[in-house]
Amino acid sequence: MAVYNLYVFLALTFVEKYLFCPVHVCVQMIELGLADGSLIDELMELTAQSLSQLEIQERFNIIKEIGRGKYGKVLLVTHRFRGTPMALKVMPKASTKLQGFLREYCISLHLSCHPCIVGLFGIAFQSNEHYCFAQELVIGRDLFAVIQPKVGIPESSVKRCVLQIASALEFIHSHGLVHRDVKPENILLLDNHCCQVKLADFGLAQKRGTLIRFITGTLPYMAPELCTVALMEGQKEVTAPPLSVEPSLDTWAFGVVIFCILTGYFPWERCMDSDDFYQEFADWCRMERPNNEEDIPPLWKRFTPEAMEMFGKLLALDVGKRCTVGEVSTYVEKDWLKKVHGIEQQQTAERNSASGNNPGHCEMEIQPNTQSQTE
Ligand SMILES: Nc1ncnc2c1ncn2[C@@H]1O[C@H](COP(=O)(O)OP(=O)(O)O)[C@@H](O)[C@H]1O
Ligand SMILES: [Mg+2]
């Protein structure tokens, strides 16, 4: 019996590893690498040498387009020979550098074994006009699509989502990498209640310590130190010194995402002095005794003191004082929305999420999937 079980186990392991999920083989191999992201360069070099040339339809049946971002589109396809449904990320060669594609693919592959990060099949190729790689198909909407404007999503769903994304980000950071594009559009849902969510889109991910000389444009999720190297319209050069990519950039973005999904508002448009909403929050952060109710900026009055303490740490203006993403887990047992707001908001959010209502986007009218380019 024991021998039989061993054979069954070995057979299943073989099937799982070599037939369905070739990616696991790679992951086990590369887990031996250093936690400073240095293995990514080697993986990129090897992938470049073996990148096959084929047209999408030679290997896949295209069912439909299921998503689009600034850099590419995502197609629902089935593998022609195995029938497996997959999400194929397709990036036009005209607007994608080979190195950028290789970095995104190799970083995604390196991290895809985490349960809260989108899985990969180990399939990457180039066609005449595109670079492509196959991802696990996540059949649900992305988080942006389920946010009720001015309302958000139920606090219980927010907390489930927050714990999973914190775990994914801790994993990324432990590998010496930074995601750099944490936002609701890049969080994929397997169900409407955030019981299972997955972080996707490593298109801007980089090794910790990489220097950014400038970015073009800003997003509400970008930390103030990142906004100092943003080239605004009409500006020719940036005067601030280059910025080192650090996990604290993800911590800030994560804090902004939590605000957005709890409220259905962006807290500000950008973290610059010219933005009044940001200024109000920054003034509150700089106060010596920030717990006085009357000092709290209007948009933030709906939160409990415990939630404000958490936001104060995730969104610390001083990078050195900003907490790690994992610290949110110490706050999940506490209430985040004050009862009067909470009950009202929960009821609307729960009603809407039960009816599958699609709200479009958050109240501040900023289009989803607008991203900034790094030099
Ligand atoms: N694996 C997937 N399964 C299902 N939908 C996906 C998947 N990956 C991405 N999407 C959808 O496609 C959109 C664009 O994909 P993304 O990788 O973020 O592209 P970009 O780099 O252009 O932003 C996402 O916002 C999401 O809605
Ligand atoms: Mg995206």
Residue-wise pLDDT for 298-308, tens only, equals: 999 999 999 99
Does residue 68 have its Cβ closer than 6 Å to ligand 1? yes
Q: Once rounded to an integer, what is the mean pLDDT over residues 352-373?
A: 45
Confidence label for 370 from pLDDT (cuts 50, 70 and 90): very low
- Which one is catalytic: 181, 201, 250, 275? 181
Q: Are the C-beta atoms of residues 232 and 223 closer than 8 Å to each other?
A: no
Confidence label for 1 from pLDDT (cuts 50, 70 and 90): very low
Percentage of residues of the chain with pLDDT beyond 90: 75
Residue nearest (by alpha carbon) to ligand 1 atom 19 = 69
At residue 38, the pLDDT reads 76
pLDDT of 64 higher than 50:
yes
Q: 116-128 pLDDT, tens per residue? A: 999 999 999 999 9
At residue 372, the pLDDT reads 42
Side chain identity, residue 157: S
Binding-site members are 89
Give the atom of ligand 1 at the shortest distance from the alpha carbon of 136. 1
At residue 2, the pLDDT reads 35
Residue 91 CA to ligand 1 center (angstroms) comes to 12
H-type alpha helices, the chain: 2-14, 22-30, 39-50, 56-59, 98-111, 143-146, 155-174, 224-227, 247-263, 276-286, 305-314, 339-354
Give the atom of ligand 1 at the shortest distance from the alpha carbon of 369. 23
Q: 232-280 pLDDT, tens per residue? A: 888 888 889 999 999 999 999 999 999 999 999 999 999 999 999 999 9
Domain boundaries, the chain: 2-135, 143-365
Give the atom of ligand 1 at the shortest distance from the alpha carbon of 142. 27
Gap between the Cα atoms of 199 and 178, Å rounded:
13
Q: What is the average pLDDT score of the chain?
A: 86
Q: Once rounded to an integer, what is the mean pLDDT over residues 82-108?
A: 97
Q: 176-210 pLDDT, tens per residue? A: 999 999 999 999 999 999 999 999 999 999 999 99
CATH topology of domain 143-365: Transferase(Phosphotransferase); domain 1 (1.10.510)
Q: Of the bound ligands, which one is closest to the alpha carbon of residue 203?
A: 1
Does residue 137 have its Cβ closer than 6 Å to ligand 1? yes
Helix (H) or strand (E) holding 53: strand 52-53
Does residue 201 have its Cβ closer than 6 Å to ligand 1? yes
143-365 matches 2-135 in CATH topology = no
At residue 276, the pLDDT reads 97
Does residue 87 have its Cβ closer than 6 Å to ligand 1? yes
Q: Are the C-beta atoms of residues 172 and 240 closer than 8 Å to each other?
A: no
Q: Once rounded to an integer, what is the mean pLDDT over residues 20-48?
A: 63
pLDDT of 145 higher than 70:
yes
Query: 309, exposed or middle or buried, with CB in 10 Å at 0-12, 13-18, 19+?
Result: middle
What homologous superfamily is domain 2-135 in, according to CATH?
Phosphorylase Kinase; domain 1 (3.30.200.20)
Buried (b) or exposed (e) across 118-130, using 16+ Cβ within 10 A? bbbbbbbbbbeeb
pLDDT of 367 higher than 70:
no
Does residue 179 have its Cβ closer than 6 Å to ligand 1? no
Q: Once rounded to an integer, what is the mean pLDDT over residues 214-238?
A: 92
Binding-site members for ATP are 89
Confidence label for 311 from pLDDT (cuts 50, 70 and 90): very high
Q: Once rounded to an integer, what is the mean pLDDT over residues 363-372?
A: 43
Confidence label for 40 from pLDDT (cuts 50, 70 and 90): very high
